[in-house]
A and B are shown apart, each in its own frame.
Chain A
Amino acid sequence: MTLMRLALRSLLLRPARTVLTIISVAASVAVLFSLLAFNTGYQKGLRNQLQQMGVHLMVVPIGCPYEAASLVLKGGEIEGYLDERIVDDIARLEGVAIAAPSLMHAIVRPEDGRTDIYLGIDQRQLDLKNWWRLGDGSKPSPDLLASDDALLLGYDAALIEKREAVGEKIWVPEIDSEFTVTGILEPTGTQDDGFFYLPLATAQRKFNLPAQITAVQVRLSDPSQAAEVGDRLEQLFANAEVIRMEELLGSMTALMDSARALILAIVAVVIAISAVGVLNTMLMSVFERTREIGVLRATGASRLHIFSLVWTETLALTAVGGIGGIALAAVASRGVEAVIRQFVPLAPRESMTEFDPQAAVICVLAVLCVGLAAGVYPALRAASIRTIEALRSE
C-alpha cells in the first residue's frame, strides 16, 4: 500500500463526481491543445501551400487584395478583370522570370451541390507550375492545351467528374460546349487539384470575356526582390492590386494570432473554471472525509502526510484529465478541423491540426500546475483538521 494507491482509491469513493471533474479538466485541456495544434498546423500548411505555388507576386484587379488572393487560391470568382496586355508588360520588367495569366470562372451546380472552377491558362502557367505531373510521371506538355476543346483535369476534378481516361468527352451545358480530356494531373496537395483547366483563349471565348484575365501570377528570378518589383508593378498599373505572397502569409498569420489571443483568453477562463471545479471537488471530499482523516492521523499520519495525500489526489485528478484531454483532442481533431475550415480564410488543403508532442506536454504540465494550485487549499484544510475533532465528527 502506498500513498499514491491510497489517493487513487480515495478518488473512487465518489466515482461520478470524480469522473465529472476529470471531464471538465479534459475538456479545457482538449480546447487548449486543439488551439495550439491548429495554430501550428495552419501556419505550416499555409506556408507550404504558398511555397508550392511557386508564386512570389500576384497581380489582381483592384479591390481587397487578401480577398482577391483568397478567392484565387480557393477558386472563387473575382468581380472585375484585367486587360491581358498587362501580362507582356509585367513579363518585360526586370527581375520577372515568369508572368502567367489565368482567367477563372465558376459554374455553380446547386442540384449537384458543387461549384466547378474553370481556369483558362496557357503555356506560361505550365512553366510556372513545373511540378505538375501526369499519371505516367511526365510533365504536361503545351500540346495538352493546343486544341480548342482541350480540358486538363486536376486530380480531384477528375474524381468528381468520374473521368479516368484521356480522350473522354465532357459536356458542359451551361456554356453549351463539349470538351475532350487531354490529361489528368497527379495530386499536388493544393487547390490546383480541384480545377478544370482549359486553353486561355477558349475560356475567354466561352465565358464571353475577350482579352480579359483575372490574375497574373508572377515568379521572380530572385524572390528577395519581391518588395521592390511589387512597388514597381503598383506604380505602373494603377488599376491593379499587387499581392506579395510573404506579406499575405504574414497578414493571415497576424490575423490568426489576434484570433488566437482572444481564444487563449477564453481558454484561460475555461481552465480557471475547471480549476475551481477541482478545488470544489477536493474541498467537498475533505469535508466528507473528516472522520477518515482523523482515523489516518490516529494511525500515525502526520499533517504533511495528510497534505500530501489530498494533493496527490488532486494531481491524479488533473493528470488523468490532462491526458484524457489530449487524447480527446487527438481523436476529435478531424471533426474540429472540418468545422474550423469553414471559418478560416485561405485554409490550406493539408491537415491544419497537427499533433504536436511538445504542445501536448505543455498542456499537461499547464493543467498539472493549475491543478496543484487548486489543490493547495483543500490539502491545507485537510492537514489543519484537529484529530480529536475529526474522530468526533459523523
Chain B
Amino acid sequence: MNDGEYVIQARDLVKTYTVGKRRVEALRGIDVSLAPGEFAVLLGPSGAGKTTTLNLVGCLDLPTSGDLTVAGHPISGNGARPTEAALDLLRRQHIGFIFADFNLLLTLTAMENVQVPLIWRDATAPGRARQLLERVGLAHRLTHRPDELSGGEMQRVAVARALINQPDLLLADEPTANLDTRTRDEILELLAELSTEGVAVLLATHDHELADRADTVLRIEDGVIADD
C-alpha cells in the first residue's frame, strides 16, 4: 500500500443475493472510504447491510457491481478479477477480523489462538504473540484456554489475533455485543488506540453509543448509506 492511499475505497457497491426465486438487494450502491488510522463506525439496525459491507471490504465475498479497492489492491470494477488465492493472500497480509462471539479455537491456549493466522504464512512469532497479549492486558493469561477466560478477555485475545499479521485494516463485526458496559468501553478504547497507531478500523454495530467514539460514522439502512 502506498502512502496517502485509502485503505478502503468503495464506490457504488451493490450486492444482491438470490434466495430461492427471490432476489435480495443487500447493498444498493454504497460509498465507503477509509484512510489509514481512521476509526469508522458503520451504524445500522439488524439487516441493514452492515455485515455484507464488512464481508465485501474484508474480501470474503465479491460485490455484484461497483468499484472496490482494498489496501491498494483492486477487487472489483475497472476490469478487476482477483483470484480466490489473491483474496486469501490479501486477507492474510492486510486484514484482521474481530467477531461478536470471539470465535476462538477452544482447544488452543491464548498464545496459540493469537498465532493461528501465522500458520497460513508458514511463520511462527511467539515473541510477537506474547507482546500483543501483554498489550491487551493478558500477560497473566497466556496459557489459558478460552473456557478459562471471561468474555472481555476472549475478545482481547481475538483483537491480538487480528493484529498478529500487522494488518492495515481491522474489521470488527459487533465486537462488543456480548460484553458488559465496562468491558465494552475497554475494547473500544483499545480499538481507538490502535487507530491512532495507523490501523484503519471499521466497526459495524447497531449500538448508537459507540458512534460517539468514532472519527467517522456511516449510517446504513436498507443497504444504503444515509446522509448525516
Contact surface of A with B, Cβ cutoff 8 Å: 1-3, 5-6, 9-10, 12-13, 291-292, 295-303, 305, 387-388, 391
A300 and B120 contact, Cβ closer than 8 Å, known pairs A9-B107, A388-B61: yes
Query: B91 contacts A3, CB within 8 Å?
Result: no
Which among A1, A6, A300, A391 is the interface contact of B88 at CB below 8 angstroms?
A300
Q: Tell me, rounded to whole Å, the shortest Cβ–Cβ distance linking A19 to chain B.
A: 15
Query: B60 contacts A299, CB within 8 Å?
Result: no
| Given A1-B112, A1-B124, A301-B119, 12 extra CB contacts under 8 A | A1-B115, A3-B119, A6-B105, A6-B108, A295-B103, A298-B58, A299-B161, A300-B89, A300-B120, A302-B85, A387-B61, A391-B60
Query: B112 contacts A299, CB within 8 Å?
Result: no
Using CB atoms, name the residue of chain A closest to B165: A300
Query: B91 contacts A296, CB within 8 Å?
Result: no
Q: Tell me, rounded to whole Å, the shortest Cβ–Cβ distance linking A202 to chain B.
A: 77
A-B residue pairs in contact (CB < 8 Å), sample of 25: A1-B115, A1-B119, A2-B124, A3-B119, A6-B105, A6-B108, A9-B107, A12-B107, A291-B103, A292-B105, A295-B97, A295-B105, A296-B116, A298-B91, A299-B92, A299-B117, A299-B161, A300-B92, A300-B93, A300-B117, A300-B121, A302-B85, A303-B84, A388-B60, A388-B61
Chain A residues with Cβ below 8 Å from B106 are 13
Query: B107 contacts A1, CB within 8 Å?
Result: no
Using CB atoms, name the residue of chain A closest to B91: A300
Query: B119 contacts A298, CB within 8 Å?
Result: no
Is B194 located at the chain interface by the 8 A CB criterion? no
Bound: A373/B15 CA distance, A: 39
Within 8 A of A (CB), among B69-90: 84-85, 88-89
Chain A residues with Cβ below 8 Å from B105 are 6, 9-10, 292, 295
Q: Tell me, rounded to whole Å, the shortest Cβ–Cβ distance linking B94 to chain A.
A: 10
Chain A residues with Cβ below 8 Å from B89 are 300
Bound: A109/B115 CA distance, A: 74
Using CB atoms, name the residue of chain A closest to B126: A1
Query: A298 contacts B60, CB within 8 Å?
Result: yes
Chain A residues with Cβ below 8 Å from B61 are 387-388
Query: A305 contacts B60, CB within 8 Å?
Result: no
Chain A residues with Cβ below 8 Å from B84 are 302-303
Bound: A387/B87 CA distance, A: 12
Using CB atoms, name the residue of chain B closest to A291: B103
Query: B119 contacts A387, CB within 8 Å?
Result: no
Using CB atoms, name the residue of chain A closest to B52: A388
Contact surface of B with A, Cβ cutoff 8 Å: 55, 58, 60-61, 84-85, 88-89, 91-93, 97, 99, 103, 105-108, 112, 115-121, 124, 161, 165
Query: A10 contacts B116, CB within 8 Å?
Result: no
Using CB atoms, name the residue of chain B closest to A10: B107
Bound: A392/B135 CA distance, A: 30
Chain B residues with Cβ below 8 Å from A391 are 60, 99
Using CB atoms, name the residue of chain A closest to B96: A299
Query: B119 contacts A305, CB within 8 Å?
Result: yes
Q: Tell me, rounded to whole Å, the shortest Cβ–Cβ distance linking B224 to chain A.
A: 21
Chain A residues with Cβ below 8 Å from B97 are 295, 298-299
Q: Tell me, rounded to whole Å, the shortest Cβ–Cβ distance linking A347 to chain B.
A: 49
Which among A2, A292, A303 is the interface contact of B103 at CB below 8 angstroms?
A292
Bound: A305/B85 CA distance, A: 11
Bound: A28/B59 CA distance, A: 46
Which among B107, B112, B120 is the interface contact of A301 at CB below 8 angstroms?
B120
Bound: A266/B166 CA distance, A: 56
Chain A residues with Cβ below 8 Å from B121 are 300
Bound: A10/B124 CA distance, A: 19
Query: A302 contacts B120, CB within 8 Å?
Result: yes
Bound: A59/B89 CA distance, A: 82
Bound: A6/B107 CA distance, A: 9
Chain B residues with Cβ below 8 Å from A297 are 60, 88
Query: B116 contacts A1, CB within 8 Å?
Result: yes
Q: Tell me, rounded to whole Å, the shortest Cβ–Cβ distance linking A281 to chain B.
A: 16
Query: B120 contacts A299, CB within 8 Å?
Result: yes
Q: Tell me, rounded to whole Å, the shortest Cβ–Cβ distance linking B162 to chain A.
A: 8
Bound: A2/B120 CA distance, A: 9
Bound: A305/B88 CA distance, A: 11
A299 and B124 contact, Cβ closer than 8 Å, known pairs A6-B116, A292-B105, A388-B60: no
Chain B residues with Cβ below 8 Å from A298 are 58, 60, 91, 97
Q: Tell me, rounded to whole Å, the shortest Cβ–Cβ distance linking B148 to chain A.
A: 15
Bound: A1/B124 CA distance, A: 6
Chain A residues with Cβ below 8 Å from B60 are 297-298, 387-388, 391
Bound: A387/B88 CA distance, A: 11
Bound: A10/B84 CA distance, A: 26
Bound: A12/B84 CA distance, A: 31
Q: Tell me, rounded to whole Å, the shortest Cβ–Cβ distance linking B131 to chain A.
A: 15
Bound: A391/B58 CA distance, A: 13
Bound: A2/B116 CA distance, A: 8
Q: Tell me, rounded to whole Å, the shortest Cβ–Cβ distance linking A12 to chain B.
A: 5
Using CB atoms, name the residue of chain B closest to A305: B120
Query: A1 contacts B118, CB within 8 Å?
Result: yes
Using CB atoms, name the residue of chain B closest to A9: B107
Q: Tell me, rounded to whole Å, the shortest Cβ–Cβ distance linking B175 to chain A.
A: 14
Chain B residues with Cβ below 8 Å from A6 are 105, 108, 116, 119
Bound: A10/B106 CA distance, A: 9
Bound: A287/B106 CA distance, A: 16
Of A13, A291, A302, A305, chain B has the most CB atoms within 10 Å of the CB of A302
